[in-house]
């Protein structure tokens, strides 16, 4: 069984934008992991905020994301775990993504990885598929 890969917003933006410095790496990662990429509702919300701010078509973006990644579940414990990450220096969106990944490990007994160019996840002990490498 493949481990779940939780993708950060920069992964989706790299894939969806016409031009992005991480596009080629994101495409390669997608091809290698397309059956195991997941997205949390919080990353979707973050992408919605970016779409509105950047005047990117929202429904089309959501449709594309839904074709790339599976959406996962939510439990209240997740928010409490996210609060711990925030208290230790993570942003709210990064903290929620990490809490989601950690919950996945507990629920499915398999290691989670995060696809991102952000280094904050390594600080908290997560395995990262780095978009910049």
Range of the domain at 92: 5-130
CATH assignment at residue 30:
3.40.50.1010
The order of strands in the sheet holding 37-39 is 70-71, 37-39, 5-7, 113-116, 127-130
Q: Give 60-118 pLDDT, tens digit per residue.
A: 999 999 999 998 777 778 888 899 999 999 998 999 899 988 887 665 667 788 999 99
pLDDT attached to residue 63? 93
Cα–Cα distance measured from residue 92 to residue 69, given in angstroms and rounded to the nearest whole number: 21
Nearest to 69 by CA among 95, 94, 90, 47: 47
User: How many folded domains does the chain comprise?
Assistant: 1
Tens digit of each residue's pLDDT (9 = 90 or more) over 100-112 = 888 876 656 677 8
Q: What is the reported pTM?
A: 0.70
Average pLDDT, stretch 3-10?
92
Question: Which whole-number Å values give the CA distances from 8 to 39, 40, 49, 78, 85, in the listed order?
Answer: 8, 9, 14, 17, 16
């Amino acid at each position: 069984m493949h481990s779940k890969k939780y993708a950060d917003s920069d992964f989706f933006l790299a894939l969806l934008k016409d031009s992005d410095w991480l596009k080629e790496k994101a495409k390669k990662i997608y091809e290698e992991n397309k059956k195991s990429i997941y997205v949390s509702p919080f990353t979707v919300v973050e992408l919605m905020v970016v779409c509105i701010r950047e005047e990117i078509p929202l429904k089309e973006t959501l449709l594309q994301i839904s074709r790339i990644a599976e959406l996962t579940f939510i439990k209240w414990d997740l928010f409490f775990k996210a609060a711990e990450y925030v208290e230790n220096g993570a942003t709210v969106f990064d903290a929620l993504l990490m809490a989601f990944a950690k919950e996945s490990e507990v629920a499915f007994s398999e290691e989670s990885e995060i696809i991102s160019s952000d280094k904050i996840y390594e600080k908290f002990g997560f395995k990262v598929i780095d978009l910049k490498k």
